[in-house]
Chain A
Amino acid sequence: MAKILLADDDELVLYAISKVLRKAGHEVLEAENGKKTIDILKNEHPDVLVTDIIMPEIEGIELIMKVQNSHPDLPIIAMSGGSRNVDYNYLSVAKKLGAYATLEKPFDEQELLDLIIEITKT
């Protein structure tokens, strides 16, 4: 089973995804923003980072860039409920920056679980 670092500023989203992942037998580390995620990464070694894009303090895109530099081998799954600005699609940017996969909220939990199995196998 995998150790997953989950970052999202929405308390209920964090709760729901954590619950799904734990029920599936994974270990979950929770972070409510980008800054906290970076702090956790200093002491922990997760197998996957699942992060939201639009977050306070350090937002998702910046977080992906920082993590790509500090932990180039850590696979990232980016998720978003859609863009706040029509000119900018965050998920396609995340993908271009090297995210392993992207998920549009609200996604089916099985999609996320399948992705984690896929990542941990490789």
Chain B
Amino acid sequence: MNKPENSNLLALLGKKNSIIILIILLTFSTVLSIIFVEIEAFEWLYDFSREHEDWELDEIILVALSLLISISVSSLFAAIILSNRLLRSTQKRIKIEGQLSQSRKMQSMGNLLGGISHSMNNHLLPILMITKLVQKELPEDSEEASDLERVISAANGAKMILRRILNFTRQEELINDNTCVIDETVKIAVELASIATPSAINLHLDIPVLSEFVPISRLNLEIITLNLITNSVDAIGAKTGNIYVSLLEAKAKDSPLGIKSACFKVKDDGEGITEEQKVRIFEPFYTSKEAGKGTGLGLSETYGIIASSKGAIEVDSQPGNFTEFTIFLPIVPLT
């Protein structure tokens, strides 16, 4: 999700500015040297020291020159360190601003879709209830009853899509009463996903015993695992490929959550995604899959569920090489 970090002075100043500063410095030192030569400064200094040999000016000049060189070198180092710090803080600020704007975008999208879902659910209720009531009045084997079954089935399809949208919009809701043991749940979900995985795709598992509780319901953890593996299967397509599912414990300093977290990764060597796609990948209804292949809801639903658990999700990818999703979930301390 993040651009590679540039951590040198050149990157901070920019190529053009660096060249301009270098030219100015060279011109300044050349002019200074010419002036020194023109006013015969060195000859004067030499004569002066010969005239006052008892003052031991040679040693003083040597010490002064050494001091000057040390001060220049340390100033240069200090400047480089400071500029790197400035660069890092600027990059951090840009990253936080980016995350904030992404989160605002997701929130307004959530509000919009929440409103739409609310209305649609209200419309679906009478469609489903009245259709079922009418269907009960008809002979079971009649064509009309079977047609109404199709109406019910279509309405149920719409209901399922709205439920998935709501999973995205409820990202701010705290679900404190739901926890599960991460390694057990992930193992079960991967087993389920493996049934639907084509035989040309190898599923590699690295799920050590990590009997830690995470603030997410078993069902939701299964949903996100299945969503990510299904995406990987689609990214590999009809080719031969690999999916790597791994789980590890991340220390507070290695987790974007800043606390001890469970780190769950799903990586595939499929087609990968571009930088442009990375920016939009968690938006509802956004899909890079061919028409009819996906609803565009899997990752937005995953994003919503992770956010509701106060977790984080990151994506890394190289087009043509790989895609890796990393999920961080805070570990719930046992009391």
Whether chain B is bound by chain A comes out as: yes
Number of A positions contacting B (CB below 8 A): 25
Chain B proximity of A18: nearest CB distance (Å): 10
A82, B117: Cβ atoms under 8 Å? yes
Q: Which residues of A contact B111 (CB under 8 A)?
A: 84-86
Across the interface, name the chain A residue whose C-beta is closest to B168.
Answer: A86
Cα A86 to Cα B125 with chains together (Å): 22
Question: Which one of A28-36, A42-50, A70-78, A101-109 is at the interface?
Answer: A101-109
| In the complex with contacts A81-B118, A106-B121, A12-B172 CB distance below 8 A | no
Number of B positions contacting A (CB below 8 A): 30
**A99 an interface residue at 8 Å Cβ cutoff?**
no
A84, B129: Cβ atoms under 8 Å? no
B130, A105: Cβ atoms under 8 Å? no
Which residues from 39 to 76 on chain A have a C-beta closer than 8 Å to any C-beta of chain B?
A: 54
**A2 an interface residue at 8 Å Cβ cutoff?**
no
Cα A93 to Cα B128 with chains together (Å): 27
Q: Which of A17, A19, A54, A107 contacts B118 (CB 8 A)?
A: A54
A86, B118: Cβ atoms under 8 Å? no
Q: Which residues of A contact B173 (CB under 8 A)?
A: 86-87, 89, 92
Q: Which residues of A contact B166 (CB under 8 A)?
A: 82
A16, B126: Cβ atoms under 8 Å? yes
Q: Which of A20, A81, A85 contacts B122 (CB 8 A)?
A: A81
**A117 an interface residue at 8 Å Cβ cutoff?**
no
Cα A83 to Cα B173 with chains together (Å): 11
Sorted nearest first, the 7 A-B pairs with minimum C-beta distance are: A81-B121, A16-B126, A106-B125, A86-B110, A16-B129, A12-B126, A106-B124
Interface residues of B (CB under 8 A from A): 107, 110-111, 114-115, 117-130, 132-133, 155, 159, 162, 166, 169-173
| Sample of 26 A–B contacts (CB below 8 Å) | A15-B126, A15-B130, A16-B129, A17-B125, A20-B129, A20-B133, A54-B118, A81-B119, A81-B121, A82-B114, A82-B117, A82-B166, A84-B118, A85-B111, A85-B114, A86-B107, A86-B169, A86-B170, A87-B173, A89-B170, A106-B121, A106-B128, A106-B129, A106-B155, A107-B125, A109-B129
